[in-house]
Structure 1
Amino acid sequence: MPDNKGDTVAAEGLPGPVAAWADSAPAAGADFDADAEAFAGFWRQGEALLERLPGKARRGEEEQETARRILDLGREARGRFLEKHAGEVYARLTGGRSKFVRVEPLAYAAAELVPGLTPTRAQVARDSDLLQKDKEGFEIDQGIFLNRVLADPEAGLHLCHAMLLPREESLERLQHFVDHGRIDLGTAAAVRRGGVSIAEMRNPRYLNAEDETTSDSLEIALDLCLLDPESAICVLRGGTVDHPKYAGRRIFGSGINLTHLYQGKISFLWYLTRDLGAVNKIFRGLAKPETTPEEVLGETIEKPWVAAVDGFAIGGGCQLLLASDYVLGAKGAYMTLPARKEGIIPGAANLRLWRFVGDRIARQAIQYERRIDCDSEAGRLICDEIVEPEGMDEAVEGVVARFLQSGLVSAAANRRAFRIGQEPLDLFRRYMAFYAKAQATCHFSPQLIENLERFWQAASRRP
């Protein structure tokens, strides 16, 4: 292979084969099996052409343009295939929607059913050790796939149902939690005090940021709090942190771990797993296998959630508040959604924030980095009470006591009634269909890297 950047395209004789390959792109018809075979062959040829180029970090401009064309043509073909067959793909992966499959195994099972439709685990693993800017971006194809699945009403609602079920790991730990009233999950914990279950986020080195090390443990903690038969209400808090500036203090959360994001340690599926799983479970409760979680006809396991904001709730931390039923904010604490500076979409905040603060302030927060102090006019539209920092523990106990005194028999019904008017499950499904494709593009965009280097000095931060 030539050493000089940009020589490979000509030296490998790629212009002709790429053009011929483009001309051979199949059209989608009514026969799933025939189309699956034809499109898989087309994608296999595209992968072979891409492998003749250097890795992304070593490409010259012409090489990068050739790679982009190969990837784009493959994605256009995925769009055509899925437009015809997304429902059938989902049906085959779930036994005709007779079994529930979570997002991650679903995306990888699609690669086995129709090779090339989504990346294999091996392809993603090869990229996993690279910096984000050096990745090929194969996971964008997972976003294209999940966009089409979620856009299909029957498949999309079934996938939302799957993601609202308690995790197997949670069910395995439930009896321990019931018996002992506490469990340490590493980067999260759950504890019962009286009639309240408390989920605590614990990532002290990174100011309780969210990343691949926290997502599973937080969702399990939430499941246990909701499943606990001895509690009627839940509390969400951030644990104490190690950072010298805040050492020994509670911090609610600093959002996505930008250091890990820059270093390529956060997968695309992390976003979908988080927002269809943990965050949506706070907002909607847990689903039951035998009953739809849809608000009008279905049933869920729900408890009110009280969130206590110590320090700050940045990005994903703020998103959690928008899914909660009651929010306590410490004086001096603040909320931000710096999505534009990060180069990503802030979860479901675009769907939810405007309901609290109005359209203008929501746009200012998401698109123009407006900081919202808890103890401000806008902040009080999100926070139900403002308390002194040293009085937060007592304030949480007071709120819980008031909830319990008045009884919670109607709590689940009232939560569902609000959702029918504000955000029924089908609206959320449609939003997540858009989010799957758009976030995949953002996650691998050059702008994300530029923003992280410009605004967060990400290149100089140690792992």
Structure 2
Amino acid sequence: MSDTLVEIQEPAPGVSLITINRPDRRNALNFEIKGLLADAVEKLDSNPQVRVIIIVGAGSCFAAGSDVAEMQTLTPIEHTLRATDRMFSAVRRCSKPVVAAVEGYALGGGCELALSCDMIIAGESAKFGQPEIRLGVMPGAGATQHMVRTIGKYQTLRLLLTGERIDARSAYALGLVSELSPDGNALKRSLEVATTIAEMPPLAVKAIKEVVHFGADAPSETAMLLERRAFQVLFDSADQKEGMQAFLDKRTPHFQGR
């Protein structure tokens, strides 16, 4: 690996890979990494050639958490001025699907980074947890809200109030992990999934992500209306015409995001 703390690569057409490269510290998320990762996500989100983003940690660990040494003396004003949540917000607001490829530890801020993504593909022995309570604080980058909306109040409070770690199999059973893979295979499997998504019509991909994201907190009838309107709008796209004609012609469609 290079000396760059955050690396961007293109392992497949339409797929961008962001690597957190601080393996000697289990990819602990210091201020510099958080800023670089936010910049990378925002840059890739604005690039029409990028269709899917994968985030991975270098070595055998996703991210063991935020850098406690940096966080220890922060004041509330410094949190605000440094925008210490910008990385998580950039991932959550990204219009492109974001996949977390998790091996080893995803703890604290590392777990919240994974939860900010749209999918989590994890090695079977990966560990997830929010140990902030053991440091005298609480999660502050989305864990309370992501978890309660995904696994419910009782499991969320069990994990957050004890700070206990769970393995990937348990996380998968709870619904926190999208898919399990053999240890060491999470990135390979993430690339396979990302490549499949990258071949789909970009406008439909974006519409599905938006409706799932914004509809989740809306009343059922409002969410259904959002879905219906997005569905109707796609019938004005060239990709809809190409997809349906290709189906009738029994050939592979070629989507262009128009």
- Go from structure 1 to structure 2 and tell me whether the alpha carbon gap of 1:334 and 1:377 turns closer, same or farther (over 3 Å shift): closer
Taking CA–CA contacts closer than 8 Å with sequence separation of 6 or more, which of the two structures ends up with the larger relative contact order? Answer: 2
Q: How big is each residue's C-alpha offset from its partner over 1:239-273, in whole Å with a ceiling of 9 and x where there is no partner?
A: 12xxxxxxxxx3110111123334x3x56434771
Higher helix share: 1
SS of residue matched to 1:281 = helix
Q: Equivalent residue for 2:252?
A: none
Using the TM superposition, give the Cα deviation of residue 348 of structure 1 relative to its aligned residue in structure 2, in angstroms.
1.6
Structure 1 spans left out of the alignment, 5+ residues: 1-183, 241-249, 286-301, 425-463
Q: 1:211 aligns with which of 24, 30, 34?
A: 30
- In structure 2, relative to structure 1, the CA distance for the partners of 1:218 and 1:260 (3 Å cut) is same
Tell me the equivalent position of 2:234. Answer: none
Q: Which moved further from structure 2: 266-275 or 332-341?
A: 266-275
Please name the residue that 1:297 is paired with.
none
More strand as a share of residues? 2
Query: What is the deviation of 1:420?
Result: 2.2
Corresponding residue number in structure 2 for 1:413: 207
In structure 2, how many angstroms separate the alpha carbons of the residues matched to 1:419 and 1:217? 25
Please give the secondary structure, in 1, of the residue aligned with 2:64. Answer: coil
Looking at structure 2, the residues matched to 371 and 330 of structure 1 have their Cα atoms a distance apart, in angstroms, of 15
Between the aligned partners of 1:420 and 1:212, the Cα distance in structure 2 is 29
Residues 1:202 and 2:11 are matched in the alignment: no
Residue 381 in structure 1 maps to residue 175 in structure 2: yes
Give the 5 Å matches for 1:3-402: 186-193=4-11, 194-240=13-59, 250-262=60-72, 264=73, 266=74, 268=76, 269-270=78-79, 273-275=83-85, 277-285=86-94, 302-346=95-139, 347-376=141-170, 379=173, 381-402=175-196
Q: Hey, what's the Cα distance between the residues in 2 that align with 1:254 and 1:267?
A: 23
1:408/1:356 CA distance change after superposition, 3 Å:
same
TM-score (norm 2): 0.74
* TM-superposition CA deviations, 1:318-340 (whole Å, max 9, x none): 11122211110101001000121
- What CA deviation, in whole Å up to 9, does each residue of 1:54-97 have, x standing for no partner? xxxxxxxxxxxxxxxxxxxxxxxxxxxxxxxxxxxxxxxxxxxx
Compare CA radii of gyration and give the structure with the larger one: 1
Task: Specify the SS of the correspondent of 2:120.
Answer: strand
CA distance in 1, matches of 2:215, 2:16: 28
- Per-residue CA deviation, residues 123-171 of structure 1 (Å, 9 max, x unaligned), is xxxxxxxxxxxxxxxxxxxxxxxxxxxxxxxxxxxxxxxxxxxxxxxxx
Q: CA 1:332/1:204 → structure 2, altered by over 3 Å: closer, same or farther?
A: same
**SS of the residue 1:186 aligns to:** coil
**Cα gap change, 1:233/1:377 in structure 2, threshold over 3 Å: closer, same or farther?**
closer
CA distance in 2, matches of 1:212, 1:401: 31
Determine the C-alpha separation between the residues in 2 that align with 1:423 and 1:339.
26
Matches of residues 414-429 of structure 1 in structure 2 within 5 Å?
414-423=208-217
**Residues 151 and 174, structure 2, Cα contact 8 Å, conserved in 1:** no
The number of equivalent residue pairs is 213
Give yes or no for contact 2:15–2:195 (8 Å, CA) kept in 1. no
Cα distance, 1:387 vs structure 2: 0.4
